[in-house]
């Protein structure tokens, strides 16, 4: 009995000398790097590259206006062709909404390569959505700025405040969710509104800032499509600074025809809250 006790005591001392049990290794697993799951930065960058567009936002006021009748203006139109009259609707002169001098832009957005000056007029009673150019609104696109002359001013009773405008480049403009043209990974869909923004303001090119839904141009073609098949070119936003509103803080969208024989036709659609 004594011998067994001594042997057990010696065996225990030997086990104690072996030290504590070894812990399993920690740290990242060994082997080739794993591909990030959908929604990680690599996928976001790929989506950005596919969706982004350049745009030009017109800064309204806050600087010295240009001399002479040229330049870009909000709430003022100074130029027209010789003999061209101030547009009217139901016997009333329309308000001057904007004059955009495209020769001063740092680059030319799509579908504006052959235009140098755009002027926009609007009736004091906002036109119904999808009314044709000249009926409650008037857009004039001029290919040659040198052919224009000062337009005789008319008292329209407009409350729009005139301000000069100058261009600011937006390098990355992204569509609202309703305009996204591609299928996106689930993780990016869930975070879309945090990852991608659409610029507001008076903007040429880029993507339209949607208030309610994708733009519906209307028309009398099959399925109520517009016969000119217009595509978005620029938008004019509501602005407290210049006292202009499309209904309740809305946005007006201007599209140009893409169908053969209709490329000089313009369309207006507007949305508000």
Residue ranges of the chain whose pLDDT lies below 50: 1-10, 12-21, 33, 35-41
- Indicate whether 16 belongs to any domain: no
Closest CA to 238 of 160, 170, 130, 158: 160
Query: 269 near 217, Cβ under 8 Å?
Result: yes
- Indicate whether 264 belongs to any domain: yes
Q: Can you give the pLDDT at residue 16?
A: 47
Domain range enclosing 116: 41-271
- Indicate whether 178 belongs to any domain: yes
Split into its structural domains, the chain has a count of 1
Question: Tokens for 193?
Answer: 């509104």
Strand order across the 95-101 sheet: 137-142, 117-122, 95-101, 72-74, 163-173, 53-60, 203-205, 230-237, 251-257, 266-271
Question: Tokens for 262?
Answer: 């209709």
- Indicate whether 63 belongs to any domain: yes
User: Could you tell me the end-to-end alpha-carbon distance of the chain, in angstroms, rounded to an integer?
Assistant: 96
Q: Can you give the pLDDT at residue 30?
A: 55
Closest CA to 141 of 199, 101, 181: 101
- Using CA atoms, how far residue 127 sits from 88, 115, 176, 242, 249, in Å, is 13, 25, 25, 20, 16
- Indicate whether 7 belongs to any domain: no
- Indicate whether 33 belongs to any domain: no
- Indicate whether 64 belongs to any domain: yes
Q: pTM of the predicted model, to two decimals? A: 0.83
- Indicate whether 157 belongs to any domain: yes
CATH for 143: 2.30.320.10
Q: Can you give the pLDDT at residue 218?
A: 78
Query: 166 near 73, Cβ under 8 Å?
Result: no
- Main-chain phi, psi angles of 46, to 5 degrees: -65, -40
């Amino acid at each position: 009995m004594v011998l067994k006790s001594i042997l057990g005591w010696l065996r225990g001392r030997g086990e104690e000398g072996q030290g504590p049990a070894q812990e399993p290794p920690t740290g990242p697993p060994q082997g080739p790097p794993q591909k990030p799951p959908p929604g990680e930065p690599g996928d976001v960058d790929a989506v950005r590259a596919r969706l982004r567009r350049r745009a030009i936002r017109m800064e309204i006021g806050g600087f010295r206006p240009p001399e002479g009748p040229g330049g870009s203006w909000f709430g003022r139109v100074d130029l027209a062709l010789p003999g061209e009259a101030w547009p009217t609707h139901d016997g009333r002169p329309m308000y001057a909404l904007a004059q955009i001098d495209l020769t001063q832009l740092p680059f030319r957005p799509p579908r504006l390569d052959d235009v140098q000056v755009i002027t926009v007029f609007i009736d004091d009673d906002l036109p119904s959505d999808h009314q044709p150019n000249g009926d409650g609104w008037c857009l004039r696109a001029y290919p040659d700025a040198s052919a224009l002359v000062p337009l005789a001013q008319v008292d329209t009773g407009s409350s729009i405040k005139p301000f000069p405008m100058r261009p600011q480049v937006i390098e990355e403009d992204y569509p609202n969710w309703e305009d996204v043209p591609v299928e996106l990974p689930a993780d990016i869909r869930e975070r879309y509104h945090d990852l991608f923004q659409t610029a507001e303001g008076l903007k040429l090119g880029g993507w339209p800032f949607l208030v309610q839904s994708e733009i519906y141009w209307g028309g009398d073609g099959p399925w109520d499509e517009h016969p000119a098949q217009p595509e978005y070119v620029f938008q004019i936003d509501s602005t407290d600074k210049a006292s202009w509103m499309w209904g309740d803080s809305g946005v007006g969208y201007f599209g140009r025809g893409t169908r053969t024989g209709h490329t000089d036709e313009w369309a207006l659609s507007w949305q508000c809250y």
